[in-house]
Amino acid sequence: MNFTKVVLYTAADGRAKWREEPIPLAEGTPQAMLSRVFPSGGYQLRCSPVGFRSQWHCTPQPQWVFILAGEMEIGLQDGSSRVFRPGEHFFSADTLPAGASFDPKVHGHWSAQRGASPLVTLFVKHSAGA
């Protein structure tokens, strides 16, 4: 059995894109299947009010984003967007390409609160070497 890791990443053309990767659940027991233990570099909680929308930006450091309450929409340069609801997640790794200067017409994504409730998220920072 696998856990599906939804990944927001920077493609070779510098634009943010989505992909899915399997994470094997090969440890634990049949009643509680587990992945291996991954290192992390700390976590943050965030509450965004109704109506919040960010500017275009890149993720400064790769991180897991877990939606605890409300809804989060992520928009990409190609005009597509994806909405995440409580209990859903993605791994945000769309960092600025090495040596590039940020260009909001090419790089990154925007995020926004959707629905009637504030957006509450948990960010788990990716640890170097993980």
* Rounded Cα gap, residues 112 and 130, in angstroms: 28
Cβ atoms of residues 84 and 69 within 8 Å: no
What percentage of the chain reaches a pLDDT higher than 90? 96
Phi/psi of residue 31, nearest 5 degrees: -85, -20
**Is a pLDDT exceeding 80 seen at residue 77?**
yes
Question: Where exactly are the structural domains of the chain?
Answer: 2-126
Residue 129 pLDDT level (bands cut at 50, 70, 90): low
Dihedral of alpha carbons 26, 65, 111, 94, sign = negative
**Is a pLDDT exceeding 90 seen at residue 112?**
yes
Residue 83 pLDDT level (bands cut at 50, 70, 90): very high
Dihedral of alpha carbons 97, 109, 91, 44, sign = positive
pLDDT at 127: 84
Q: What is the pLDDT of residues 11-48, one digit of tens each?
A: 999 999 999 999 999 999 999 999 999 999 999 999 99
Average pLDDT of the segment spanning 52-77: 97
Domain 2-126 fold: Jelly Rolls (2.60.120)
Average of per-residue pLDDT values in the chain: 95
**Is a pLDDT exceeding 90 seen at residue 57?**
yes
Average pLDDT of the segment spanning 43-67: 97
pLDDT at 108: 96
pLDDT at 93: 96
Residues 6+ apart with CB under 8 A from 98: none
